[in-house]
Amino acid sequence: MAAQLGRMMYQKQVEVEQRAMFAAMTDAVMVYDYAGICLRVAPTNTTAVLSSETQVGRSLHQMFPPETADYLLDCIQTALTSRTTQNVEYNVTWDGQQVWLEASISPLNEDTVIWVVRDVSDRAAAQAALQASEARNRAIVTAIPDLMFRMSADGIYLDRIKSRQNQDLVSPDCDPVGKPIAELYPSDIVERQLYYAKLALQTGKPQVYEQEVWMNQKLQYEEVRVVVSGESEVLFMVRDNGDRKRAELALRLAKQQSERLLLNILPRPIADRLKQATGVIAEQYDNITILFADIVGFTSLSAQLSPIELVNFLNQIFSTFDRLAEKYGLEKIKTI
């Protein structure tokens, strides 16, 4: 009797400890079966969005949108089939707000799982803010020119504000300040710089032009912007736009290849009409028929002629067809 009483007291102590442990938990703890029906909800100290007695007896498809319910049910069944814990993230709408949840789904026995879920909305919001910040920073870095320098109206290099490695014809070891740009750059680049600097100072408007320079044994495509930065000075901002140029070149080559292919199949007037038109350019003529269908008894006739005689016979027909097409301005379209 004493042993039984001791076991009962021990069992109650365990239950008290379990209740205390659950009461201290901020995660929701639930039990689901293989069909996705909530069997029990543990009395944890969590928010209303995570734990509710009303979930007991309800299926996932009664509580979540179809896609989310299907996904979570698949996770339950995978956990039971593989006997492994499945870690998932999903979101629900609560009081008009999107709430992100993280759940661990572990097998409890053969056909039930224990579902431990916590609200990770703050973490998700922080991650979203970090991603947005990184995207803004990438955009800012992308917008920063590769090279910026100031130049006087008479072509004296005043200051190199920024220069990325290998993006300037002037060596990083060289101090260009105070030197004429004619000593620093090739003559064709100097001529353009002076021209657009003068234009910017005269008009007060930013000037934009593109140039190609050989740098580090390769051709580099650059966009150059020139803005007035003082009474008689300008700021040059140089950006490598090789990616855009290469994309434009690839697009142009692809267009040329498609046009050549079109001209191999169709006469130029027809190809030109196809490129300009947005709809079907074919016209219907009820009095036009198929050539061989109009030759009565062609099959039996061809069987009676030798190959050379048949070719000569068809040549006469096609020559007459060519003369008719030329006379009436028709286009002959080849088929493959």
Residues 6 or more apart in contact with residue 204 via CB below 8 angstroms: 228
Kind and range of the H or E run holding 94 = strand 86-94
In the DSSP assignment, the letter for residue 173 is T
The Cα-based distances of 200 to 95, 223, 224, 320 in angstroms read 58, 16, 12, 68
Measured CA to CA, the distance from residue 108 to residue 102 in angstroms comes to 19
91 bridge partner residues: 100
pLDDT above 50 (res 16): no
Q: How far apart are CA 222 and CA 240, in angstroms?
A: 5
Residue 174 region, left (φ>0) first, then alpha (ψ -120 to 50), else beta?
beta
What pLDDT, in 10s, does the model give residues 240-291?
887 888 888 888 888 888 777 766 766 677 667 666 765 665 566 666 655 5
Of the CA atoms within 13 Å of residue 286, those in its CB half-sphere come to 0
Tokens 């068809």 found at? 314
Do 149-239 and 2-125 have the same topology in CATH? yes
The Cα–Cα gap between 73 and 98 comes to: 21
Going by C-alpha positions, the residue among 230, 222, 229 that lies closest to residue 146 is 222
Burial track 223-239 (b if 16+ CB lie within 10 A, e otherwise): bbbbebbeeebbbbbbb
Domain positions in the chain are: 2-125, 149-239, 282-336
Chain segment 158-175, per-residue pLDDT in tens: 988 765 655 667 777 788
Q: Which two tokens stand for residue 195?
A: 């021209």
Rounded to two decimals, what is the model's pTM? Answer: 0.42
- CA 234 from chain centre, in angstroms, equals 38
3-class secondary structure, 227: strand
What's the fold here for domain 149-239?
A: Beta-Lactamase (3.30.450)
pLDDT band at 6 (very low <50, low <70, confident <90, very high): low
Grouping H, G, I as helix, E, B as strand and the rest as coil, residue 205 is: coil
Mean pLDDT rounded to a whole number for the chain? 78
Rg (CA), the chain: 40
How many helical (H) and strand (E) elements, i.e. helices and strands, does the chain have?
A: 9, 10
Bridge partners (DSSP) of residue 226 are 207, 236
User: How many CA within 13 A on the CB side of residue 179?
Assistant: 13
Q: What percent of the chain has pLDDT over 90?
A: 24
> Is the pLDDT higher at 259 or at 67?
67
CATH 3.30.450.20 fits domain 2-125:
yes
Instruction: Look at residue 47 in the predicted model and tell me its pLDDT.
Output: 57
Say what the pLDDT of residue 228 is. Answer: 94
Q: What is the pLDDT of residue 222?
A: 87
